[in-house]
Structure 1
């Protein structure tokens, strides 16, 4: 039962990391939306990450995860690691999507969910002694839940697109 409770809290941290950059964009518009990649384009002519990955997004995701961890009785450092790991995974998926010529905010099931959740979970794995099997289970749960939750967020006006 304890593993289930920990898994639910980690899943919530991943969801917080996923939605807070979008909420910040909705609240702040272009304010403080500096591109994480500095606008760099690679020799293939495509951006390193793209305009939707911002410094503001990383900062709010990490900060929100720290607060969320604290509220759930987890160490604040765990929230910071989960948020930073999730944002690193999100940046990695954006990098791969740009190389595959998928437009910014374009959908790629699996690629949109797995790096974000997996890197976020691996970042906290040793701090919380999370078994690899549980990491895999939470990663799968995040991948399966992210699509319906993104559609709900779209209906509520939190997301521009339903994915």
Structure 2
């Protein structure tokens, strides 16, 4: 489900173009001169990731709360990584291995650790597997001209 949450904004953005792409940060710039999150973090992507992840979770036999939690926490993790990248003056969508994947996989795993009875090893495996699969999926989406560059 974390891969679904991560990939949905890219696919929905590709399908919708610039429609409904209002930035989450509403264009806010901080004292460092950089945007809070950047133009690529949109309400369309944030909300579509949560909705689609909830639906996919339900199709997979989970309660809506599980899919909702995965989608929401993954998107919050994505915003955290964008915030950090802006503070480091990295360009929106610029690759930063680890920072691009760890928060958006770690937060949902931690949020659901007790509910899903995950061990600490399970959490580490979820994050590690997500980092690997995210990289492979990003390359595939780039080769299919869905992403402008791989992560």
State if a TM-score over 0.5 links the two structures: yes
2:104 pairs, out of 116, 119, 128, with 116
1:152 pairs, out of 140, 143, 147, with 140
Aligned to 1:76: 64
Distance (whole Å) between structure 2 residues aligned to residue 33 and residue 56 of structure 1: 6
Distance (whole Å) between structure 2 residues aligned to residue 29 and residue 127 of structure 1: 37
Aligned to 1:161: 149
Q: Does 1:26 align with 2:17?
A: no
Q: Identify unmatched segments of 5+ residues in structure 2.
A: none
Moved over 4 A (4+): none
Aligned to 1:97: 85
Q: 1:103 is paired with a residue of what secondary structure?
A: coil
Give, in angstroms, the shift of residue 66 of structure 1.
Answer: 0.5
After superposition, what is the alpha-carbon deviation per residue over 1:73-124, rounded to whole angstroms, capped at 9, x for unaligned?
Answer: 1111100000000000000000000001110000000000001100121222
Distance (whole Å) between structure 2 residues aligned to residue 127 and residue 159 of structure 1: 34
Distance (whole Å) between structure 1 residues aligned to residue 38 and residue 3 of structure 2: 22
TM-score (norm 1): 0.89
Q: Does 1:62 align with 2:50?
A: yes
Q: Identify unmatched segments of 5+ residues in structure 1.
A: 1-12
TM-score (norm 2): 0.96
Distance (whole Å) between structure 1 residues aligned to residue 19 and residue 110 of structure 2: 32
After superposition, what is the alpha-carbon deviation per residue over 1:25-81, rounded to whole angstroms, capped at 9, x for unaligned?
Answer: 101111111111111100010000000001111111001111110111111110000
Distance (whole Å) between structure 2 residues aligned to residue 24 and residue 75 of structure 1: 24
RMSD across aligned positions (CA) = 0.9
